[in-house]
Structure 1
């Protein structure tokens, strides 16, 4: 128990303030909180973009499979329509 009390005293001594500038300290805390929130927003946006890109890639793969199937069964019009959807350079 004495060890815990000594540790507590050491922690208190380490964080003892000599300058009492509460407003500046609060301003710094708010600034750090804002920066942390911005970083979290950026990370969540990155995750959302990556998941969106993954979904788009899956859809493209499915369309390619469907296009190949349409060619195999001889439905060239449907296959060409899918090809136009997959080609990013051709305006729809």
Structure 2
């Protein structure tokens, strides 16, 4: 009897919740003999793991997990504008690291743009020199065309 009373006290919130939600009975309106009968049904479901919800096993843990999920959901809605952890040094280190990474990305993009600009200019210059070389061949200026050819491809012997 002492063991049942001890278990009953430990599972009282779960038992009360189970009575209200599953059996739709208020614990205070039950006579003691019916309460014992209901508790036996509750413990049978508990021991055979046949409850419909996890909260009847550990209502405090269930409520804690539910609250944590809601807090995470609210944080996602709010975004990262609200600080939760007040570790200033770590926060500053992370902000500085993000700033360095952003600066590196900007430098790489600027370098790419400058290289692309320089390459485009060089390609335009090569196309202009080829047109000029073709024109010089057409008018018979072989020395001028050969000079342009050497500029365009210095490795090819003339």
Q: Which TM-score band (shorter chain)?
A: 0.7 to 0.9
Candidates 49, 57, 60, aligned match of 2:123:
57
Q: CA RMSD in A?
A: 2.1
The structure number with the bigger radius of gyration is 2
1:60-83 Cα offsets, whole Å, 9 max, x none, are 000001101111111100000000
Map 1:1-92 to 2 at 5 A.
Answer: 11=78, 15-17=82-84, 19-90=85-156
Runs of 4+ more than 2 Å apart: 88-91
Q: Deviation per CA, 1:16-71: give whole Å up to 9, x if none.
A: 41x32101101100110000000000011001101100000000000001101111
| Structure 2 stretches lacking a partner, 5+ long | 1-76
Higher relative contact order (CA 8 A, sep 6+): 1
Q: TM-score, normalised by structure 2?
A: 0.47
